[in-house]
Amino acid sequence: MSRRLIIGVTGASGAEYALRFLWRLSSLPGESDLIFSPNFFKVLSAEAGIEANTATLETIFNLIQERYGAPEKKHHFSLCDYRDIGSRAASGSARYDAMAVIPCSMKTAAAIAHGLSSNLIERAADVSLKEKRPLVLCPRETPLSSIHLKNLLTLSEAGATVMPLMPGYYHRPQQLSDLYDFMIDRVLTHLGFTERFIKPWQP
Ligand SMILES: Cc1cc2nc3c(=O)[nH]c(=O)nc-3n(C[C@H](O)[C@H](O)[C@H](O)COP(=O)(O)O)c2cc1C
């Protein structure tokens, strides 16, 4: 099924999750508005030694291609400016099926939980909650303080699906990408796709 999505990418650890997620999404029908926090590029540099200070679709998809091969072109991506709170993703009147934030920092989780909306990721998530659209948040932090836990509970009670980047191991991962795919498969399912990249568990 074709989906119209908003995808936020923040500066939590696990930058590779975002790249692999976009590679998988490119093989699925639909379109997405992409919003990158500048902190994502800082983390990408720390974790993968990749310097990509200018967020353009070309630089991002070149990175993805280098790592995972040519992305399929079934999904259309548009890049939005993180600071542009006038973008269509900031409006409740624009039609979207769902939003995901992967990875989601504790700072962004806190901001969404408290309705701060100080950038486009936070505003689009705030709008998703008020419009009762599915919002999938993939936090990454450990250990979690009481503040983090309370914020995540607030988000869950407000209607968000909180999916920490905690892959399972019962699919017997052989390489890192198998762990990424475990989470990505679950997130895509929650965004409404029926295609599966990981075989569902069968006892
Ligand atoms: C290398 C690196 C790793 C980080 N890992 C995490 C993390 O796992 N979880 C988290 O909540 N913040 C992490 N941070 C901190 C966030 O980047 C920071 O809180 C930032 O303000 C998040 O802003 P954003 O959500 O707007 O991207 C990390 C920062 C760096 C530089």
Ligand 1: distance of its center to the CA of 187 in Å? 21
Residue range 108-144, pLDDT digits in tens: 999 999 999 999 999 999 999 999 999 999 999 999 9
Average pLDDT over the chain reads 95
Query: What confidence category does residue 181 fall into, taking pLDDT thresholds of 50, 70 and 90?
Result: very high
42-89 pLDDT per residue, tens: 999 999 888 776 678 998 999 999 999 999 999 999 999 999 999 999
The confidence score (pLDDT) of residue 55 equals 75
Distance from the alpha carbon of residue 106 to the mean position of ligand 1, in angstroms:
7
| Cβ of 148 below 6 Å from ligand 1 | no
Residue ranges of domains in the chain, CATH in brackets: 3-190 (3.40.50.1950)
pLDDT band at 1 (very low <50, low <70, confident <90, very high): confident
Q: Is 150 in the pocket of ligand 1 (CB under 6 A)?
A: no
- The string of DSSP letters for the chain reads --EEEEEEE-SSS-HHHHHHHHHHHTTSSEEEEEEE-HHHHHHHHHHH-----S--HHHHHHHHHHHH-PPPSSEEEEEE-TT-TTSGGG-TTS--SEEEEEEE-HHHHHHHHTT---SHHHHHHHHHHHTT--EEEEE--SSPPHHHHHHHHHHHHTT-EE--S---STT---SHHHHHHHHHHHHHHHTT----SSPPP--
pLDDT reported for residue 95: 96
